[in-house]
Each structure stands twice: as C-alpha cells, then as structure tokens.
Structure 1
Amino acid sequence: MPRKLALGLLLVTAAAPATAEIYRWTDANGSIYFSDTPPRQVRHSSVSVKPPVTVPMGENIRQADRVRQSRAEVERLLAPGSKDRYAQAREAKKQAQQCEKYRKQLDRIQGQLRAGYSNDRGNGLRQKRRKLSQLYSRECMLDQN
C-alpha cells in the first residue's frame, strides 16, 4: 500500500507543473521574465499556453515506414545500372546521338573517297570506313532488336 501511495503522489507531483499558470512581467530595464510563480510587488500578467498537439504513436510509425519506403524507391531509381524509365530514355537518347555521330562520320569518309585520293590515302579511308561500319552495325543495328 505505501508503494501505491508513493507512486500516486509522484504522478500528481509530476503532473502539477504541466497545469500550473505561467506569469510574465517586465523589469525596469525592459527585460522580460517568465515564471510559474507570480512575482511580488511587480505588475504581471498571466500567459495562456496552448496544450501540446499529440499524434498517436501508431501514426508516427506508419509515417516513418512510408518515408523509409519512399527513400528506398528513390535510391533504387538513382542507383547506377537501374533500369527505370528515365534512365532508359536517357540511354536511348545517348545511343541515338552516338549512332547519328557514326552516320555523319561514315558520310564524311564516303565523300572523301568519292573526291579521289591516292591509293595509300584511299586505303586508310576505307579501313576507317570498315571500322566505323562495324561499330555502327554492332551498336546501332543489332542492339535495336
């Protein structure tokens, strides 16, 4: 029985400051003071404090889980090698630009070959054209299937 009484007194004592009034006053120097006991011989006013907003713990846990899942999804999408739709679109655009670059180089070499060069120069251009054609075929024609 004494333990229950002690526990009850402890709870009442702990809860008392939460319900106490708060007083505010200003001294002669203009400093503002707050206290839970009213000052003597000084004009003071009572301050109303709004009760704290509480959210049930279950809602906090659910919100934390949603945040954790959102972060995991963003990290998955931004991870190197992820195949999200934006990364695929960027890769496709980059691939298309590279293929266009190969086509322009092939056209330029073909134009140089038509202009006529010596055998040595012509052989070098044909070798470049062969290598570019292989790259173009491997990266642009075969990957599209």
Structure 2
Amino acid sequence: MKPGIRALTLLLSSGLAVTASAEVYRWTDASGAVHFSDTPPDTGQPARVELREPVTVPMADNIGQAERVRKSRKAVGRMLAPSGEDRYRQEKQQAQARAARCRKLNQRLERIQAQLRRGHSNERGNRLREQKREVGDQYSRECILN
C-alpha cells in the first residue's frame, strides 16, 4: 500500500472515531425552542447530554422469541379446545347455524329480486339495488367464501 493512501486511511479512521465519541449539547433559545447540537452555542450555557449505548438484540434472538411465542399460543389453543365428542358436537352446531344463516340470506336476496322484477320508481329501485348489493356481499362472505 502506498504511504499516502495509508496516511489518508489512518486520518479518516481517526476522524470517524472522534465523530463517534462527539459530545451533544442541549440549550433553549430566547424564544423557548430547545436545540440539540454537537457544537455548543455561542451564547448561553448549554447542558451536556449523556448518551447511552444503543441496545441491540441479535436477529437470532428475535426469531427464537417469535418461535417460543408461537409454540405457547398453540399450546394454549390445544388446552382450550374442546375434546373429541364435544368438538364434534360444537362443529355440527356451528355448521347448522351457518346453514340457517345462509338460507335466510338467500331468501332475503330472492325477496329483493322479486321486488325488483315488479318494477318500482327510481328511488325505491335504487334502494332495493343497494340492499341487494349489501345482502349479496354478506352472503358471499359468509356462505360462499368461507
């Protein structure tokens, strides 16, 4: 390595070390605004701010913690889940309730469609079309997509 490049590298690395250990000053100006700077102001008495080292957590520790939380949630879910026959009974009741909701929504859609076929004024027809969109969206979310 050439002596000039070596000297420049040494100078830059020492400059970075000085910058990293720079002091921080805090002061309030005449209008009440608080300022922070690495150089003290020309007027007034600045307070020196003590900076603490930043806390860093290795990525592996974050990933490990996330995995432990995931396992804990699964374990709690298993403990709270109903067992065998109870689970079957609950699932059957939920399926029946869902089927009943879907039948009601479908009947409501059919009623709205029948009213639309009869013909109504623009205002009434617009309200019926809006209802049909809302009920149709709800039917899609609850009965088709799930």
> TM-score normalised by the shorter chain: which range applies?
0.3 to 0.5
For the pair shown, the structure with the greater C-alpha radius of gyration is 1
Return the TM-score normalized by structure 2: 0.44
